[in-house]
Amino acid sequence: MNSGVIAGGAMLMLVSIFFTIFTLGFGIVCTGPLFLIGFIIFILGFVIPEEKREVHNYNRTQPTPATSSRYCPSCGRSIPFNASVCPYCGLKFQDYITPSDKSIYCSRCGFENKPDSIFCTKCGNKL
């Protein structure tokens, strides 16, 4: 049911009725089709579904990229870059270090290398 369409059809019918009354019945030739169109639109208002509108919460403040540039993997909220614990859900970030952030250890000498290293910086062994 679409209340806007129903109201529009009802208004067309009322305008045609008032025009017929004010012209003492002589305007029926002009208002007959107008009444018919208003009636069809009025009936369509019951058939056409009403559009669902998306509700926005404009009162909620969104953090700016300058104040935070990282997101919590648990709750998805924006958090300060240097935070070690999420202030919203309490998740500790030491548990969520990705493999690309971990150091690579040499299999020959055991030296700790940077994650993007291809060769060991101590002995030259391929990692």
Distance CA 123, CA 11 (A): 88
Phi, psi of 52 (to 5 degrees): -90, 130
Instruction: Express each pLDDT in 49-106 by its tens digit.
Output: 777 766 655 555 554 444 445 777 778 788 877 777 888 888 887 655 555 557 787 8
**76 contacts 89 by C-beta, under 8 angstroms:** no
pLDDT at 35: 84
Tell me the C-alpha distance between 13 and 15, whole Å: 6
d(CA 22, CA 28): 11
Each domain of the chain, given as residue ranges in start order, spans 3-47, 66-96, 97-127
Alpha carbons 76 and 39: distance in angstroms, whole number? 52
In the chain, DSSP finds a helix count (H) and a strand count (E) of 2, 4
The CA radius of gyration of the chain, in Å to the nearest whole number, is 35
Please say whether the beta carbons of 74 and 91 come within 8 A: yes
- Using CA atoms, how far apart are residues 36 and 104, in angstroms rounded to an integer? 80
pLDDT of residue 66: 46
The string of pLDDT tens digits covering residues 7-23 is 888 888 888 888 888 88
The pLDDT tens digits of the residues spanning 24-45 come to 777 777 778 878 888 888 888 8
CB 94 within 8 A of CB 85: no
